[in-house]
Amino acid sequence: MTNNTARPTKILVVEDESIIAMEIGSLLTGFGYQVSELVRTGREAVALADKLRPDLILMDISLEGDMDGIQAANEITAGGYDIPIVYLTANADDHTFKRAKISEPFGYLPKPFEARLLHSTIEIAIYKSQAEKERKKLIAELRAALAKVKLLSGMLPICAACKKIRDDQGYWNQIESFIREHSEAEFSHGICPDCAQRLYPDIKLYD
């Protein structure tokens, strides 16, 4: 098991060589992962990313058909599925590597690879993906919170006599109305001791 939830991590394997795909599936099962599916083409990978929503995709770059692994990964990312992708490739030339790098994968493994390296790469990819999701969630929460906050800042023109505040349109507003409109503050009304003495000298409102 590799995550903090009750279920094992689900991994979609995209590999067009059947023997290699089965070997990878066996390794993943041994590590405690759940193999969602073994598929051979990029188009199958895109369709199953939507249908199965795996926790991670192991994607061979060189695939049969009209869509290679990098193109498939780009389609999945563009679809907004937010699934980490680790590339597998026997073709580690500079051009392929540059194309892969631009698609921002969570890992890149040249074939053949050791089982231990496969395991550690998957673990790091899952950790990075979870951390990125938490970061995005936090940013969204902060933006939502900021959208609800109205700040009073700068110089406020206030009447020295009646204490009304002039707004941006030149109108004079009661201080309560102005603050209520420009912040989350609410008012409850009372009377201070000085005003009580001045307005009601014969009534003892305060000890």
Q: Residue 94 — pLDDT band, cuts 50, 70, 90?
A: confident
Give the domain ranges of the chain: 10-145, 150-207
Mean pLDDT of the chain: 85
- Amino acid 45: pLDDT: 95
Structure tokens at 194: 């000085």
- Amino acid 171: pLDDT: 83
CA separation for the pair 99, 75 (Å, rounded): 14
152 pLDDT above the threshold of 50: yes
- 162 vs 51: which has the higher pLDDT: 51
Phi, psi of 114 (to 5 degrees): -80, 150
65 pLDDT above the threshold of 50: yes
Question: Token match 């631009």: residue?
Answer: 102
Tens of pLDDT along 107-144? 999 888 899 999 999 999 999 999 988 998 888 888 87
CA angle 34, 35, 36 (to 5 degrees): 105
Q: What topology does CATH give the domain 10-145?
A: Rossmann fold (3.40.50)
98 pLDDT above the threshold of 90: no
Structure tokens at 137: 């969630």
